Amino acid sequence: MPSVDIAVVGAGPAGASAAIAAAQAGARVALIDEGIRLGGQFFRQPARPFNSQASDALRNHFRRGRQLLEQLDHPKIEVFTGATVWNLDPKRRLQLYGSHGRLEVRAHCIILATGATERSAAFPGWTLPGVMTAGAAQSLLKGHGLVPGGRVIVAGSGPLLLAVARQLLDHGAHVTDVVEATPLRRWVKHGVHMRRAASQLWEGVEHLQRLKRAGVGLHHGMAATRALGSLQVSGVEIDRVDERWRPEPGSTRQLAADVLCVSYGLIPSTELSRLAGCGHRFDTSLGAWVVGTDTNLETSQHGIYAAGETRGVGGAEAALAEGRLAGLLAAASLGLWGAGHASAVAEARAEQARLRAQTEAVLGLFCVQPGLADLATDETPVCRCEGVTAGAIRLAAREGARQLNSLKAWNRCGMGPCQGRTCGPIAAQIIASETGAHLEAAGCFTARPPIRPVPLSALAETATPHPTGTAMEDHAGYGRVVTGRR
Amino acid sequence: MPAFLRANILAAGQRFEILVNGEPVAAYEGESLAAALLAAGWMCLAAQPDPDCPRSLFCGMGACYGCLVTLDGRPNVRSCATLAQPGQRVELADHAIG
């Protein structure tokens, strides 16, 4: 059982830079990621290096990621890839399972840099093969050099839509339409805040120009409301939506498509911090829970730090600075600091704050809206794993299931292999819409070990068969810790 | 038209074969199982929760468990988070026909 000074979970921008900063300060570090390769989603490394056919932007991005990841080749860093953390207790013991079997890691400090997943909407046909998140299409391109063979529509809301459409287009994909739910008039209203984010704004304008030149249809204030097809996608229906993303009847248009990429922003991954009993807060603009920390990035659990998107979506640049800051502060808490520590901390802190403010200015434009829940008809599956429909969730909500956790008792929503990661945020919106209560009141699914499916043999061999933190009997008290309510 | 195409933007890599429902399928060094399957024209990879619910890669990052396949007899393996390797035998759900 390895014992280290600092264990970092997640090897994206935040986790990688945290591990590097901590190791350079003298800490022995374990860096753990469940991906095949390091880098997370943003710095996802390709199966083989890019050649000259890849766009300059993609090759520069790859080089930047590689420069970061090369610094992980450090005598004080041990890297575990393909390793899923399925349990974390408040005593900072991590249970890993992966291609190399089962392992327990103990650490004096833990830095959670678990990133985010993508928010989708549930609409008729969204489970069809060919409908995927925009990030999935991007991962196939960045990680494997694959582009869709047929016509592509990118739909949802947020800065990722234009970036992904542009990237696919640059590498030969036939992108026909981009469908952005946030209406143009909101851009006008929000314009003043965008001054803080001039570089992102310029990047977006450049993507737009490239897409327009290529004849891509750009639809603002519209949403994909249905994916058509029986075995896979053959078309998409789009509808005009109002400012709250509620579809307007009678505005349907039909478009042909073979792949539909969907993205309505990001949702911080908080399973591990919830499992460890860290306090969380509801971020209204994200419409999601984020792990709470003090100004030194330490969560409410002693010795457990958090950095990057799990604290609230701030973008990869902020995550790099924040990871560095977390690494420096965690190392300092163990008495490890060298010359220049104070100035390095001050610099990382200032950079992290400035970059987070920039991203917040952009994301304020694309705040998740309640109308997203209305895209699901009663027949639409919301919980993809268990096949629980929006109608079943609405019925349960009317019968008294006002929280995600009680929903499980009604219809098994969120109890399949993905454990509610995909359906939870959508089901919460449907409950809120049905009961008229605030989204926050729906809470979030309780995280229990194992937070990812592992073979029974992995559990049977575990030295601590009764993990603390989220035992069934602690459920009520645990819920209070998570939501901060009594 | 295949679901996904290799865009020739990666350095050449070793080509090898995996068996998918008994049929040989080409894969290249460093690819995930899902990437090799999609590039070979398989769009439906799984069926969930019932045999008549075709599913495929959805999140592409190991979070959604939508692309589960049976690998060398081991069920429920995330094809997007598993490296393709020579000689692997992959079984797709009945519904997942190319």
Segment A345-366 mean pLDDT:
94
A232: which chain B residues are within 8 Å (Cβ-Cβ)? 3, 43-44, 54, 56
Interface test with B, best of A131, A144, A260 (most B CBs within 10 A): A144
Per-residue confidence at A479, pLDDT binned at 50, 70, 90? very low
Residue B36 lies in a domain: yes
Percent of chain A with pLDDT over 90: 85
B29: which chain A residues are within 8 Å (Cβ-Cβ)? 47-48
Domain that holds residue A29: 3-117+267-363
Percent of chain A with pLDDT over 70: 94
Summarize pLDDT for A398-432 with one digit per residue, the tens. Answer: 999 999 999 999 999 999 999 999 999 999 999 99
User: What is the nearest CA distance from B85 to chain A, expressed in angstroms?
Assistant: 13
Cβ within 8 Å, pair A128-B54: yes
Q: How far is CA A344 from CA A67, A304, A334, A337, A404, in A?
A: 20, 21, 17, 10, 42
Per-residue confidence at A486, pLDDT binned at 50, 70, 90? very low
**Using CA atoms, how far apart are residues B20 and B54, in angstroms rounded to an integer?**
17
Tell me how far the alpha carbon of residue A292 is from its chain's centroid: 16
User: What is the nearest CA distance from A136 to chain B, expressed in angstroms?
Assistant: 4
Select from A243, A264, A285 the last residue of a domain: A264
Task: Give yes or no for residue A265 having a pLDDT over 50.
Answer: yes
Mean pLDDT of chain B: 92
Per-residue confidence at A463, pLDDT binned at 50, 70, 90? low
Please tell me the predicted confidence (pLDDT) of residue A216: 98
**Nearest one of A319, A325, A317, A324 to A269, comparing CA atoms:** A319
User: What is the nearest CA distance from B62 to chain A, expressed in angstroms?
Assistant: 8
Select from A437, A454, A476 the last residue of a domain: A437
**Using CA atoms, how far apart are residues A270 and A277, in angstroms rounded to an integer?**
11
Segment A92-104 mean pLDDT:
90
Domain that holds residue B26: 16-91
Per-residue confidence at B86, pLDDT binned at 50, 70, 90? very high
Cβ within 8 Å, pair A129-B45: yes
CATH of the domain at B38: 3.10.20.30
Nearest to A146 among B12, B35, B64 (CB): B35
CATH of the domain at A383: 1.10.10.1100
Segment A232-240 mean pLDDT:
97
Residue ranges with strand state E in A357-423 = 381-383, 388-389
Two tokens at A461? 């061999």
Nearest to B13 among A47, A54, A140 (CB): A47
Segment B33-39 mean pLDDT:
97
CATH of the domain at A203: 3.50.50.60
Per-residue confidence at B50, pLDDT binned at 50, 70, 90? confident
Please tell me the predicted confidence (pLDDT) of residue A484: 40
Per-residue confidence at A327, pLDDT binned at 50, 70, 90? very high
Segment A132-157 mean pLDDT:
97
A450: which chain B residues are within 8 Å (Cβ-Cβ)? none
Cβ within 8 Å, pair A129-B12: no
Give the chain A residue whose CA is nearest to the CA of B31. A47
Nearest to A139 among B3, B10, B61 (CB): B61
Beta-bridged to residue B6, according to DSSP, are: A146
Pick the range with the lowest mean pLDDT from A118-127, A138-147, A178-187, A219-228: A178-187
Beta-bridged to residue A304, according to DSSP, are: A110
Segment A155-176 mean pLDDT:
97
Select from A264, A298, A328 the last residue of a domain: A264
**Number of domains making up chain A:** 3
**Looking at the structure, do residues A355 and A240 belong to the same domain, yes or no?**
no
**Using CA atoms, how far apart are residues A417 and B48, in angstroms rounded to an integer?**
11
Q: How far is CA A222 from CA A131, A187, A189, B62, in A?
A: 17, 14, 18, 29
Summarize pLDDT for A32-52 with one digit per residue, the tens. Answer: 999 999 999 999 999 999 999
Residue A471 lies in a domain: no
Task: Give yes or no for residue A195 having a pLDDT over 80.
Answer: no
Mean pLDDT of chain A: 93
Task: Give yes or no for residue A1 having a pLDDT over 70.
Answer: no
Per-residue confidence at A188, pLDDT binned at 50, 70, 90? confident
A138: which chain B residues are within 8 Å (Cβ-Cβ)? 60
Segment A152-166 mean pLDDT:
97
